[in-house]
Amino acid sequence: MIAPEPFFEPRGTPFSEFHRIRALTALGHQVDLVTYPFGQPVSMPGLRVFRSLRPPFVDHVKIGPSLAKIPLDALLALSALRRAVSERYDVIHSHEEGGLIGALLALALRLPHLYDMHSSLPQQLSNFAFSRSRLIRGVFLAIERFMIRRSRVVIVICPSLEETVKAIEPGSRTVLIENAPGSAEDEATPEAAAAVRRSLNLGDAPTVLYTGTFEAYQGLDLLFAAMAIVRRSRPDARLVLAGGRADQVTRARQQARDAGIEDITVFAGERPASEIPAYLLASDLLVSPRSRGTNTPLKIYQYLRSGKAIVATRLLTHTQVLSDDTAILTGVTPQDYAAGIVAGLTDTTRAAAIGRRARALAETKYSYEAYLEKTRQACAALLPAPPAGAVVKDVA
């Protein structure tokens, strides 16, 4: 497996990679992960981690496209090549732009390639405001086409990505595996939730929670503007944000100050993944104000499992999973989003009903058992199709 990210870091794609590995090893597979030279250590039965060399003067990498990724990916490719020629592997499984490395290695070694597509590379350019160059976009599109066409199976995390794949290669074998790998072990206790409220000095205040990164496409500017409106009718409400690097939190504090909500906003900083369920349980309302992109935020599946009402923008990024039955969907103006938050805090009967339906959706369509089964299907799809008329035995 080739992962061009810090592994592990508490953010979207590394979370997805972690749970993908956990599912693969649970299904009996052995995984050798080649990844960047930094990240938290991970120990898991069936997993070996091999880190690439670190380029001079590079000690971290931000989310999305960056110039630092050029030397990092070059050294990652060398490490992947070294592993590929020193072991006998059955499959090369790659994530994001690592699919270029994986597809080339698979072609050279005549191995099946599985591309784990978490986002569209050309779309990343606009989501992260990296470049408007038509040339760079063309290069990213060409790379994406090559990775898809040279993969025996493509895992996609949302329906919009499946449409992207089929538009490039209609005959591609795709498996939709939503980023919903939670299980009963992710449940929080009332005691843990109470401890969170005490640590944040929330008292009995109605609490609106945001979890996740502080990247521009997440829509925190919309959230802050909306909360300035919310406080007019619900001055008792508090906004808690769990996430963000230290420098991002500093900028977000200034944004909250400029919006006039600094006194009702609590920045908890980046929290370990194990603490997030307690934060969810400690809150009254969960928010996802994402304003750009089409991929479903990973947080949405954890929000669903919490059984709390979700306020989300009525955009494809959310509506691929959420509906008016399972969330409070709003327009993308501060007024609309504020109205959704006020409705969730005020009409508690409606909010509770939405939360119950959200949890029911998570326990059926997005259960851990369903996640494991889809992972098994992706592995099975790597096998060549049997000849016409052949008898296939079930050896499971």
Q: How many CB atoms lie within 10 A of CB 142?
A: 12
Q: What is the dihedral of CA 30, 34, 37, 41, to 10 degrees?
A: -10
Contact assessment for residue 273 and residue 15, using Cβ atoms and an 8 Å cutoff: yes
Q: For 158, which DSSP code?
A: S
CA 237 vs CA 37, 227, 301: distances in Å: 42, 9, 24
CB count in 10 Å sphere of residue 267: 19
Model pLDDT, residue 183? 54
- What span, in angstroms and rounded, lies between the C-alpha atoms of 276 and 279? 5
pLDDT tens track, the chain, 396 positions = 999 999 998 888 999 999 999 999 999 999 999 999 999 999 999 999 999 999 999 988 988 889 999 999 999 999 999 999 999 999 999 999 999 999 999 999 999 999 999 999 998 887 777 788 899 999 999 999 999 999 999 999 999 999 999 999 999 999 999 988 765 456 899 999 999 999 999 999 999 999 999 998 999 999 999 999 999 999 999 999 999 999 999 999 999 999 999 999 999 999 988 899 999 999 999 999 998 888 999 999 999 999 999 999 999 999 999 999 999 999 999 999 999 999 999 999 999 999 999 999 999 999 899 999 999 999 999 987 555 554 444 433
Asked whether the beta carbons of 146 and 113 are under 8 A apart, the reply is: no
Beta-sheet pairing, 285-288 with 310-313: parallel
- How do 174-176 and 153-156 pair as beta strands? parallel
Give the C-alpha separation, 244 to 142, whole Å.
Answer: 33
Query: Which DSSP string corresponds to 40-102?
Result: -----TTEEEEEPPPPTT-----SS--TTHHHHHHHHHHHHHHHHHHS--S-EEEETTHHHHH
Integer Cα distance of 213 and 248 in angstroms: 9
Nearest CA-CA partner of 256 in 293, 222, 299:
222
Tokens 């079930």 identify what position? 394
Q: What is the pLDDT of residue 342?
A: 98
Burial class of residue 170 (count of CB atoms within 10 Å of its CB; 0-12, 13-18, 19+):
exposed
The position carrying tokens 């089964």 is 373
pLDDT digits (tens, 9 = 90+) for 144-179: 999 999 999 999 999 999 999 999 999 999 999 998
Q: What is the DSSP string of 209-226?
A: EEES---GGG-HHHHHHH
Is the peptide bond prior to 267 cis by the omega test (within 30 degrees of 0)? no
Q: Sign of torsion, CA 130 133 134 136?
A: negative
Please name which of 15, 5, 9 lies closest in space to residue 302, comparing C-alpha atoms: 15
> Is there a contact between 143 and 181 (Cβ–Cβ < 8 Å)?
no
Quickly list H helices, the chain: 12-26, 69-86, 98-109, 121-127, 134-149, 159-168, 190-199, 220-233, 246-259, 276-281, 299-306, 316-319, 334-346, 348-364, 368-380
How far is C-alpha 14 from the geometric centre of its chain's CA atoms? 8
What is the spatial distance between Cα 130 and Cα 212, in angstroms, rounded to a whole number? 20
Could you tell me which residues come within 8 angstroms of residue 19 by beta carbon, excluding any fewer than 6 positions away? 179, 181, 371
**End-to-end Cα spacing for the chain:** 24
pLDDT of residue 1: 98
pTM here is 0.86
CA distance 52 to 72: 8
Find how far residue 164's CA is from the centre of its chain.
Answer: 18
